[in-house]
Amino acid sequence: MNIERIMNRYGRSMCAIDADGNHIEKKKCFVQALRYKNKMYLEGTPTEIGINDSGYYLFLGPASMQIDKLGDKGYLFDGTKKYHIDRWEKIWYGEEVFYLWAVLKEHTDGNYPYYNHFTERR
């Protein structure tokens, strides 16, 4: 089973960009807004059907994507929005990395040029 082939056909292009603005690579990925139905809200306003958009997204990317090279200030860019990686991990199938899973936070202008929620919690 090759999930990267499915991503190449149905995913959208995401550029991985490091803190210096260098394009590391461009791959097809899946990105979907997160909606929480339980009481563990990340931010935002709870509603009957889930949480109102808080700027968090679920990311599924190919195992070959090098998001580990982005560093704390790198980001993903889809052509219109910047996304900072809140947390990520490799999803394994036996002894092989099957795909990458991550929670992304949409970049917002504010007091910080880069958002890295994981770093703030340390």
The DSSP secondary-structure symbol of 20 reads T
Tokens standing for residue 61: 């990317």
pLDDT tens digits for range 60-118: 999 999 888 888 888 999 999 999 998 999 999 999 999 999 999 988 765 444 444 44
SS3 of 13, please?
strand
- What's the CA gap between 58 and 21, in Å, rounded? 23
Question: Would you kindly state where each structural domain of the chain is located, as residue ranges?
Answer: 3-106
Predicted confidence band at 50 (pLDDT cuts at 50, 70, 90)?
low
Percent of the chain with pLDDT over 90: 45
- What's the CA gap between 109 and 31, in Å, rounded? 21
CATH of the domain spanning 3-106, picked from 1.20.272, 2.40.10, 3.40.50, 3.30.450:
2.40.10
Pick the closest to residue 102 from 74, 21, 112 (CA basis).
74
Tokens standing for residue 9: 């056909």
SS3 of 108, please?
coil
